[in-house]
Chains A and B, each alone.
Chain A
Amino acid sequence: MPERTSAKVIPLGERLRQHREEQGLSQAQAARELDVARTAYRLWELEAAKPSPDRWRLIARWLGVSISTMLLGEDLIDQEDAVAADRIANRAANGAEERWDDIAASSPGDFFEQERSTIAHQLRSGRITTAESGKLTALLDHVLEGVESRADQPAAGAFRKEMVADSSAPEIARTALVVTAAGVNESIIDRAELLTSELVTDAVERSDGSLWLAITLHPDLLRVEAAAESARMEQPRSRDQRSRWSLTITSELASRWGAGWESDLYVSWFEIDLPGASSVWS
């Protein structure tokens, strides 16, 4: 786990966003470079999902940092361990023809198996000591424990928020949807994002001030509900072509949907049936 760590710990999501913006890339372009779905990449930047270990090498190379630095940003190791791992790897690489990561990447197995065999290889070659081998192995065990404990955590499945009903609300709601439904199939997220945008745009047009958004992820169902505070029990002012399209889109893409008045709140909702279980990892 090579190279240099910086003094300031930068969370992986922030590091990804900074690097992408420095490169002048969109999230879709960054996702293509990292060979991952756009939604998964977005979730990484939002810290709503974690890249799986088989992506770590590629991400670290793309960012131009060591894997230790990347794992530090993922809170999987502490700064002292990251510095120690990089120091050992740097010394092992000094005078050697291959970088630690190149040796590891060409080894069989998953990330952890590759690292273990590289540690053994470096020990056999005399590039690291027995004590250093023990230190790196213990560190690797610690990282694996961290990864496994994360996998046991249930995905956050609910979002409730009062929002200002202005033109920024649909985009904020879409981001909330993507984070709350992290792990759900990308094509379903795409549908739900569009439906959420339609739902919240309609709520903004009807609202006299506030709107409430509720997103709930069940094992077999994604439900999004918007409630707009409105004194006008009538159609919105702009019941125009856009509103008619919005209705057509919702009818076409939602599994179920509905809308109506509850006291002075206009409540609208949609549901999408989920075909399979969700996962924290992407």
Chain B
Amino acid sequence: MASAVTFEKELLPVAQGSGKLVLDLGDLTFIDSSGLRALVQLSEQMNGSAPLVLSNVPHGVQRLLDIVGLDTLPGIEVRNDA
């Protein structure tokens, strides 16, 4: 919850007016619904200019994305290169 607030504060300005944004989640060890909401808000901030790309999504995080169907939302793209 606290980390999600920090994340929003740091990244929302970056997303505004930017092109493609890729988040490498390789070192992400925990995320909950507050963190997912922060990701969606980030993608919404990009205003459909380009998708928010989530890369190197760890297995546990991918499971959570599957449960809530986050990767089916428009504006979010999951790319696992590993």
Contacts and interface: CB of A to CB of B under 8 A. Distances in A.
Query: Is B one of A's binding partners?
Result: yes
Interface of A: 26-29, 38, 167-171, 174, 190, 193-194, 197-198, 201, 204, 240-243, 245-246, 248-249, 252-253
A28 B29 CA distance: 8
A190 B29 CA distance: 10
Given A26-B29, A28-B27, A245 B36 contact: yes
A252 B65 CA distance: 12
B27 A190 contact: no
Interface in B48-82: 60, 64, 67-68
B: contact size bracket: 10 to 19
User: Which of B32, B34, B60 counts the most chain A CB atoms within 10 A?
Assistant: B32
B1 A201 contact: yes
B20 to A, nearest CB: 24
A246 B33 contact: yes
Given A190-B60, A201-B33, A249-B33, A167 B1 contact: yes
Interface of B: 1-3, 5, 27, 29-30, 32-34, 36-37, 40, 60, 64, 67-68
Contacts of B60: 190
A242 B33 contact: yes
- List of 7 A-B pairs having minimum Cβ-Cβ separation, nearest first: A197-B32, A242-B37, A167-B2, A245-B33, A245-B68, A246-B33, A167-B1
A242 B1 CA distance: 11
A171 B33 contact: no
A242 B68 CA distance: 10
27 contacts: A26-B29, A28-B27, A167-B1, A167-B5, A168-B1, A168-B2, A171-B2, A171-B3, A194-B30, A197-B1, A197-B30, A197-B32, A198-B33, A201-B32, A201-B33, A201-B34, A241-B40, A242-B33, A242-B36, A242-B37, A243-B33, A246-B32, A248-B68, A249-B32, A249-B67, A252-B67, A253-B67
A174 B35 CA distance: 15
Contacts of A174: 30
A198 B32 contact: yes
Nearest to B3: A171
B41 to A, nearest CB: 10
A213 to B, nearest CB: 14
Contacts of A190: 60
Contacts of B67: 248-249, 252-253
Contacts of B32: 170, 194, 197-198, 201, 246, 249
B34 A242 contact: yes
B54 to A, nearest CB: 16
B30 A193 contact: yes
